[in-house]
């Protein structure tokens, strides 16, 4: 990946303004103190944007995070015929989408492979147009990330799906029909894909063993506002009565629980205190008690959450990632950066993605003591981390390295900033306001 600040695709975006420079130079060891505004959730906004393809009427989203994945997806949606307008106000970015015409064209591979969420275009374009052609999607390099549940679900709804030459071609000339689908695993993406497709299918679809992540509930609420008939939002059984007339919707994207958890860890790691405005503790699921037991004080306050280090310090803790409400895989790498400076040992078991320990080598360069065997990592806390030259390999690894650098002695130079920009809305700018010392540069 290159440097997003030099990418002409995004340079044209009115809001893509502050993420300049390919390197982030971070001087560590300063306590973070102040207010940090949690942005709209990356994992919610992408499916919400795609939901605009369901209706010819206007869909407006508020609290849209200014992240690279939103820029990529808006370009993909425009290529499919969606008209998009942006505005920037006191409550962040808003975007209004009009999909009164949708062309089921094959999308540009270089764009589709930049983002795993592009697979969500498959069900909705198929349901709307009767056919869809999509290069195999990309995203973080963190494991197999199959699409078999997506394909099996669409086939159960009457689609013909061919996979050849790295391209997915799906047809349903007479439309999709409702089906009773049990997911082999509560996949977040497959639940979203099938939910979106089911809204336009004829008859009733039941999705069993559905993912219960709050971002899926946020999507269901937006679809219900558009006129979709959905019951069971937030549970593991979703029932969708399809083919209802849809209006438009105006929806505010939920706050990002991963950003909340990550910055709370940063407050504790630097022995500071941060008010996480718009943060909602209830969204953290069982990650909240785990972080608290590791020494991250989380205190609900009016309009947000206060985070700081407990008086007993950071202590080694055992974590197993699992589907919501379990400990989110997206918080695994930031938690590891925190545990790297805990007193005592921690274990982290990654059950969602098999290759999600690629940040370990980078943390080791900073002096962390971590051993990995298969899906399990052992972290022996060290007294301090030391700044180093490190490279982010995925979006959550990027955040973990920023966290480690903030807590470390000396300077860290972080490369691979496209990964940070993919998922975090002006993180460096917001951390600067909390007393961090960091600059983006091209050197
Ligand atoms: C996953 C995470 C989500 C996180 C996101 C981005 C879970 C359950 N999902 O969502 O919290 O925000 O990554 O990091 O924590 N799988 C298949 N076949 C499929 C679909 C999925 O085998 O058709 C497997 C995947 O390889 C993976 C697991 O199921 O091992 C979960 O995948 P899924 O939830 O679909 O991934 P994302 O939607 O990307």
pLDDT at 443 over 70: no
Q: Are residues 276 and 353 in the same domain?
A: yes
Q: Is 189 near ligand 1, meaning CB less than 6 Å away?
A: yes
> Tens of pLDDT along 56-73?
999 999 999 999 999 999
Q: Is 192 near ligand 1, meaning CB less than 6 Å away?
A: no
pLDDT at 8 over 50: no
**Residue 114 confidence (pLDDT):** 84
Q: Are residues 29 and 141 in the same domain?
A: no
Cα 423 to ligand 1 centroid, rounded to whole Å: 16
Q: How far apart are the first and last CA of the chain?
A: 17
**Residue 177 confidence (pLDDT):** 98
Atom 35 (ligand 1) nearest CA? 187
Strands (E) across 217-314 are located at 229-231, 237-241, 249-252, 273-277, 296-301, 304-309
Q: Are residues 131 and 182 in the same domain?
A: yes
Q: Are residues 170 and 82 in the same domain?
A: yes
Q: Are residues 169 and 284 in the same domain?
A: no
What distance in Å separates the CA atoms of residue 219 and residue 196, rounded to the nearest whole number?
9
**Residue 21 confidence (pLDDT):** 72
Q: Is 184 near ligand 1, meaning CB less than 6 Å away?
A: no
- Asked if residue 2 is part of any domain, the answer here is no
Answer whether 442's CB lies under 8 Å from 5's CB.
Answer: no
> Tens of pLDDT along 395-421?
999 999 999 999 999 999 999 998 999
Q: Which of 352, 394, 422, 423 to mutate to test the pocket of ligand 1 (most atoms within 8 A of CB)?
A: 352
Average pLDDT over residues 388-399: 95
Atom 25 (ligand 1) nearest CA? 145
- pLDDT band of 106, cuts 50, 70, 90: confident
- Asked if residue 236 is part of any domain, the answer here is yes
> Tens of pLDDT along 206-217?
999 999 999 999
Greater confidence (48 vs 356) lies with: 48
How does strand 33-37 pair with strand 304-309? unpaired
> Tens of pLDDT along 225-270?
999 999 999 999 999 999 999 999 999 999 999 999 999 999 999 9
Q: Are residues 274 and 378 in the same domain?
A: yes
Cα 351 to ligand 1 centroid, rounded to whole Å: 10
Q: Is 103 near ligand 1, meaning CB less than 6 Å away?
A: no
Q: Is 213 near ligand 1, meaning CB less than 6 Å away?
A: yes
**Residue 92 confidence (pLDDT):** 79
Q: Is 418 near ligand 1, meaning CB less than 6 Å away?
A: no
Domain boundary among 235, 252, 269: 252
Cα 190 to ligand 1 centroid, rounded to whole Å: 8
> Tens of pLDDT along 178-198?
999 999 999 999 999 999 999
Cα 122 to ligand 1 centroid, rounded to whole Å: 16
Domain count, the chain: 2
Atom 7 (ligand 1) nearest CA? 323
pLDDT at 19 over 70: no
Q: Which of 145, 212, 327 to mutate to test the pocket of ligand 1 (most atoms within 8 A of CB)?
A: 145
Q: Is 187 near ligand 1, meaning CB less than 6 Å away?
A: yes
Q: Are residues 179 and 304 in the same domain?
A: no
pLDDT at 97 over 50: yes
Q: Is 153 near ligand 1, meaning CB less than 6 Å away?
A: no
Q: Which residue has the tokens 């007479």?
A: 174
Domain boundary among 252, 267, 294: 252
Q: Is 356 near ligand 1, meaning CB less than 6 Å away?
A: no
Greater confidence (55 vs 92) lies with: 55
- Asked if residue 51 is part of any domain, the answer here is yes
- Asked if residue 298 is part of any domain, the answer here is yes
Q: Are residues 231 and 334 in the same domain?
A: no
Answer whether 181's CB lies under 8 Å from 156's CB.
Answer: yes
Q: Are residues 350 and 248 in the same domain?
A: no
**Residue 14 confidence (pLDDT):** 55
Average pLDDT over residues 130-138: 87
What distance in Å separates the CA atoms of residue 192 and residue 109, rounded to the nearest whole number?
22
pTM confidence score: 0.95
- Asked if residue 1 is part of any domain, the answer here is no
Cα 87 to ligand 1 centroid, rounded to whole Å: 32
Q: Are residues 20 and 46 in the same domain?
A: no
Q: Is 366 near ligand 1, meaning CB less than 6 Å away?
A: no
Cα 323 to ligand 1 centroid, rounded to whole Å: 9
**Residue 142 confidence (pLDDT):** 47
- Lowest-confidence region among 4-13, 16-25, 252-261, 291-300: 4-13
Greater confidence (186 vs 135) lies with: 186
Q: Is 319 near ligand 1, meaning CB less than 6 Å away?
A: no
Q: What is the CATH number of the domain that holds 426?
A: 3.65.10.10
Q: Is 353 near ligand 1, meaning CB less than 6 Å away?
A: yes
Answer whether 84's CB lies under 8 Å from 97's CB.
Answer: yes
Q: Is 383 exposed, middle or buried (0-12, 13-18, 19+ CB in 10 A)?
A: exposed
Q: Are residues 267 and 408 in the same domain?
A: yes
Range of the domain at 311: 9-39+255-441
Q: Is 402 near ligand 1, meaning CB less than 6 Å away?
A: no
What distance in Å separates the CA atoms of residue 297 and residue 309, rounded to the nearest whole number?
6
What distance in Å separates the CA atoms of residue 372 and residue 136, rounded to the nearest whole number?
30
- Asked if residue 56 is part of any domain, the answer here is yes
pLDDT at 374 over 50: yes
Cα 145 to ligand 1 centroid, rounded to whole Å: 6
Average pLDDT over residues 34-63: 98
Q: What integer best gives the mean pLDDT of the chain?
A: 93
Domain boundary among 223, 252, 281: 252
Q: Is 352 near ligand 1, meaning CB less than 6 Å away?
A: yes
Pick from 132, 142, 139, 126: nearest CA to 177: 126
How does strand 204-208 pair with strand 180-182? parallel
Strands (E) across 20-82 are located at 23-27, 33-37, 58-64
**Residue 1 confidence (pLDDT):** 38
Contacts of 374 (CB under 8 A, 6+ apart): none
Q: What is the dihedral of CA 313, 260, 370, 139, to 10 degrees?
A: 180
Q: What is the DSSP letter of 4?
A: G
% of the chain surpassing 70 pLDDT = 93
Residues paired with 168 in a beta bridge: 134, 163
Q: Are residues 26 and 51 in the same domain?
A: no
- Asked if residue 4 is part of any domain, the answer here is no
- pLDDT band of 107, cuts 50, 70, 90: confident
Which structure tokens are listed for 91? 């409550």
- Asked if residue 216 is part of any domain, the answer here is yes
């Amino acid at each position: 990946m290159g440097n997003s600040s030099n990418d002409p695709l995004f340079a044209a975006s009115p809001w893509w303004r502050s993420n300049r420079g390919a390197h982030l130079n971070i001087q560590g060891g300063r306590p973070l103190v102040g207010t940090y505004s949690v942005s709209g959730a990356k994992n919610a906004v992408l499916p919400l944007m795609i939901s605009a393809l369901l209706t010819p009427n206007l869909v407006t989203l508020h609290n849209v995070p200014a992240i690279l994945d939103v820029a990529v997806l808006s370009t993909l949606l425009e290529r499919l015929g969606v008209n998009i307008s942006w505005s920037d106000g006191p409550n962040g970015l808003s975007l209004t989408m009009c999909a009164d015409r949708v062309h089921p064209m094959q999308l540009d591979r270089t764009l589709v492979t930049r983002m795993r969420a592009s697979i969500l275009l498959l069900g909705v374009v198929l349901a709307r147009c009767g056919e869809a052609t999509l290069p195999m999607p990309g995203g973080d390099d963190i494991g197999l990330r199959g699409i078999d549940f997506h394909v099996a679900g669409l086939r159960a709804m009457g689609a013909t799906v061919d996979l050849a030459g790295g391209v997915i071609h799906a047809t349903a000339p007479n439309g999709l029909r409702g089906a009773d689908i049990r997911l082999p695993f509560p996949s977040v993406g497959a639940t979203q894909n099938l939910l979106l497709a089911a809204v336009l299918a004829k008859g009733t679809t039941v999705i069993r063993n559905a993912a219960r992540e709050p971002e899926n509930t946020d999507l269901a609420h937006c679809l219900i506002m558009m006129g979709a008939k959905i019951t069971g939002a937030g549970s593991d059984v979703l029932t969708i009565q399809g083919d209802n007339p849809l209006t438009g919707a105006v929806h505010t994207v939920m706050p990002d629980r991963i950003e909340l958890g990550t910055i709370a860890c940063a407050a504790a790691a630097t022995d500071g205190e941060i008010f996480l405005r718009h943060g909602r503790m209830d969204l953290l699921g069982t990650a909240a008690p785990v972080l608290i037991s590791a020494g991250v004080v989380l205190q609900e306050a009016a309009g947000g959450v206060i985070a700081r280090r407990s008086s007993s310090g950071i202590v080694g803790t055992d974590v197993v990632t699992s589907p919501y409400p379990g400990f989110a895989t997206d918080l695994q790498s930031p938690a590891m950066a925190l545990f790297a400076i805990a007193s005592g040992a921690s274990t982290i078991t990654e059950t969602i993605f098999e290759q999600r320990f690629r940040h370990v080598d980078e943390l080791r360069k900073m002096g962390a003591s971590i051993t990995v065997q298969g899906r399990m990592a052992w972290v022996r806390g060290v007294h301090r981390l030391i700044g180093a030259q490190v490279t982010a390999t995925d979006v959550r690894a990027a955040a973990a390295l920023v966290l480690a650098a903030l807590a470390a002695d000396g300077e860290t130079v972080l490369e691979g900033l496209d990964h940070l920009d993919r998922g975090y809305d002006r993180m460096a700018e917001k951390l600067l306001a909390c007393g961090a010392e960091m600059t983006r540069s091209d050197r």
